[in-house]
Every structure is written in C-alpha cells, then in structure tokens.
Structure 1
C-alpha cells in the first residue's frame, strides 16, 4: 500500500516509511517496483531523486540523459555532471541543439542561451566553443537569437 501511495502522491514521507518497513535484502526490488510504477515522462525528477537517495548514480545519470529534458539536465548538473562529464555534455548538447532548432521566439532563444551558460560549467571548453560556433553559424539568420547569446556572454 505504501508503494501505491508514494507512486500516486510522491510524498517522501511514504517513501521513508516504506524503507524503514522493508527488509534490507528486499529494498532494491521495492525501489525498482516504485520506479516501474512512475511514468518517466512525468516523474523523471522523482525517479532521479530516488536513485540519488539510493546512491544509484549510474541509474540517475541514465534517467537524466534518456529523458531529453533541458530543465532536468540543468537541475542535476551538479550531482551528475562529474559522473561522466563527456557523456553528460554530449547528451545535454544534443538537447540544446534540438531546442535551438525548435526555437522561434526570443523567449525560447533566451532559454537556449541560459542552458549554454549552464553547460559551460562542465568545463569542456573546446567542445563548448564548437557548440556555440555551430549555433551562431546555423542560426545566423536569427538576430534575436544571436542577441540573446551576446547577452549571456557566449
């Protein structure tokens, strides 16, 4: 019943109570059951939080890179960016490029520029500069986009 309550409400009190009530040798199975009940599209952040609580860094990393959500990349860059910086950069870069291709208004250009600021913190300087150069060349016909890049200093 606690599994269902947590999966429906994502109330961490239920999770903690469930963990206390479950024998250690069964806990991994319970965690997997919870994750299976959560919809990755809508509950990705909760799934990542579960994995981080359980110190399953590789699973958290895989969830973030598979979900393809820029905000998720940004939210977990500090916890997961050092796990495999090159892979995190590559996955984040793909999503930034997709977002730039889909962007059609200043608001979205600004979001892409802000994500560029975030990805820069991974320290992949040469690859970052290549990404920025690509975006500037690819979207040179979008002055508002170039303006937003300038505003954030990339």
Structure 2
C-alpha cells in the first residue's frame, strides 16, 4: 500500500467541500501526511471571452479575496498554516497539476459529483485532474443535500 507524505486537496468551496475535507483529514491522519488546500478561480475573461466591455479586475480581486477567506476558514480546524493555503487563477485541472508538482504532492484529493450524460460530455474538473496528474488522485464522491 502506498504511503503519502504530502496531500494536495483541491476544493471548489461549495457546501460539498466539507465531505472532501473530511476524507482528506482522515487520510492525512492515517499517513501522518502534510495537507495543503487549493482553490482555483477561472479568470472572468475565460468565462466571458472579452464580450463584456468593462474592466473586470476589481470583481476578480473580490472573488480571490472571498476564496482566500473561505480557504482560511476551512484550514483552521485542520491546523493548516497560511503557506499551505493556495488560491490561484487559471484553468482548474492544469493549475492543480502545476501546484501538485510545485509542492511535491504524492496524492491529490478532489471532489466528484459523478455527473452523467451531457454534464459529463462537457467535462469535469475531476476528470481533468485525473487524466494529467503526475501522482495518485483520489476523487471523493460528494453527495449534494437536495
């Protein structure tokens, strides 16, 4: 069985993130591993392709600040220091790959909603992370409260 020393947890900061954090905490304790948390924000220009004739930098900065606050709150119960809390801008799967390599993670933990049909065809972050990672990836099936 593999042992893990550095675990990168990719969070979307939704309510479902608590399920991913719980699994990461369990594995971190079981292996005595160091946990790092990450959240990737896609640039608004990616989403809108420059179709909006206005400066979105202030909105982007607010999104980043909110994400940092949420990641910090999630880190407190786990005792994760600020230097292992990463809010980055870019395409989620590629940024998680880059960050995992940068911190020498040997496991990436992400949430998976288990989408089917059209949602699956459109692609998912979990699938993107899985198919390009240089280390093990654990996709935690999250169940939304509906």
TM-score normalised by L of structure 2: 0.28
TM-score normalised by L of structure 1: 0.27
Compare CA radii of gyration and give the structure with the larger one: 1
Structure with greater helix percent:
1
Structure with greater strand percent:
2
